[in-house]
Structure 1
Amino acid sequence: MPGAGLWALLVLILAVVQLPTILVLGPIIVYVFFTSSTVSAVVFAIWSILVGISDAFLKPLLMGRGVDVPMLVIFIGAIGGFIASGIIGLFVGAIIFALGYKLFLLWLNQDPR
């Protein structure tokens, strides 16, 4: 696939702004149908549709239980935590950054005395 890095970046951006990834995967599925065997194209199409459906159903279900923090804050915390501490930081960084975000909002909204 030519420009695979660019396609991956587009999917990442769509995921951060919470748009369906099928917007990018649709043209890729068409490309795979024209350039690859039918079996691999069908398998890729089914896989992409399953990923899109699971993203549409699982993301609200899993994120609905947590705090109302924007996805970008969680993403920045996860990337920063991963850079600082590796795999463990991927999870801990997102939690700490989301907690810091909520505390910052509370601090901004408190009454001055």
Structure 2
Amino acid sequence: MFAAHVTVTVVAAFFTGSAAVTYLIGHDYPKAQADMKRVPRSWVPVLGLLLAAGSLGLVAGFFVPLLGTLAAAGLVLYFVGALVAHLRVGSRQLVGWAVFFSTVLAALAVNLAYHW
């Protein structure tokens, strides 16, 4: 169970950390996504910070298990919000969302199974 916990958590932290970097460096893709979902561009850095905090929280969870659990739960809620943003504008491009959501959901599941 330890190997699954470490593997899934590291993959989820890498995915969300990579997304955070694209949001924080001002890449065009997050801006285009914000425009498509009718989210103000001023939210893009805030969303990037939330992703970065979640990614760091997942890694910190190796040392403080409750922090990892809370970070994973927060990321699950973040991606539920992303789904709502997609559906609100009628977007059916959900493959990327599904990959991120399933990864952070798996991180939450293995975190709960391993620590609690």
Higher relative contact order (Cα pairs below 8 Å, separated by 6+ residues): 2
Between structure 1 and structure 2, the one with the greater Rg is 1
Normalization by structure 1: what TM-score? 0.37
